[in-house]
Amino acid sequence: MRSNKGLLIVLSGPSGCGKGTMVAEILKRGDCAVSVSATTRSPREGEENHVHYHFLTRDEFEQRIAEDGLLEYATYCDNYYGTPKKEVEEMRAAGKHVILEIEVQGAFQIRERCPDAVLVFTVPPSIAELRRRLHKRGTEMDEVIEKRIARAMEELPLAEQYDYIILNDALEDAVSDFGAVLRAETLRPSYTDLDSLRKDGNTL
């Protein structure tokens, strides 16, 4: 009954608010895939090339832009980040719901280029909690943490332009809310394979 093509879901939210942990849980469903972004930032400890990101030099990244190989891209805290176009299309064509874990500028580019995309913004319970989570993660220096907090303050007011807002306080609840969004989106007429419904003797 559903269309064969997967949904395109953008997941934004301040750095440190738990998007990565949410995505790791969501992937356990089996019907979703996460897009591996390209970036010019250096790998963090434990991050693998082509698994967490495609780590590129600035020249390589700019080459991808020139070739129109990115669905969207943005600069965030002095580095480029972008979504490889071909990989996303292939995963969607294979029926997976593809999650783009990206910041706000990229999210709005996606809305322009892919009007069927679903934009989800996840918010932390408070800025104090966000700061605590960033310190606990321990992957950034204090100065970078403050840059990310400043960026979060700019991004949070844009949440209201998204299709859905999910509070990430208890992880379980946030993941369950995400599941509810997916469920609702796959029940839209635009997503449903109406021809097969009609074939089955319905009156649609």
Phi, psi of 7, deg, nearest 5: -75, 160
Q: Name the one range near ligand 5GP by CB under 6 A: 75-83, 88-96, 118-126, 196-204.
A: 75-83
- Among 40, 83, 122, 168, which residue sits at the site for ligand 5GP (rule: CB under 6 A)? 83
**CB-based contact 17:168 (threshold 8 Å):** yes
Position 87 contacts ligand 5GP (CB under 6 A): no
- Among 33, 96, 99, 103, which residue sits at the site for ligand 5GP (rule: CB under 6 A)? 103
- Size, binding site for ligand 5GP by CB under 6 A: 14
Return the structure tokens found at 128.
């104090």
- Among 3, 5, 25, 41, which residue sits at the site for ligand 5GP (rule: CB under 6 A)? 41
Residue nearest to ligand 5GP (CB): 106
Position 76 contacts ligand 5GP (CB under 6 A): yes
Helix (H) or strand (E) holding 200: none
Residue with the two structure tokens 């591996």: 36
Residue with the two structure tokens 């965030």: 76
Based on DSSP, count helices (H) and strands (E) in the chain, helices before strands.
8, 9
Q: Name the one range near ligand 5GP by CB under 6 A: 2-10, 99-107, 123-131, 173-181.
A: 99-107
Nearer to ligand 5GP, 42 or 190 (CB): 42
Q: What share of the chain is helix, strand, coil (3-state, %, to 5)?
A: 45, 20, 35
Position 168 contacts ligand 5GP (CB under 6 A): no
Return the structure tokens found at 55.
């780590």
- Rounded to whole angstroms, how far apart are CA atoms 30 and 43? 27
At 62 the three-state DSSP class reads: helix
- Among 6, 34, 98, 101, which residue sits at the site for ligand 5GP (rule: CB under 6 A)? 101
Applying CB under 6 A, which residues contact ligand 5GP? 15, 37, 41, 72, 74, 76, 81-83, 101-103, 105-106
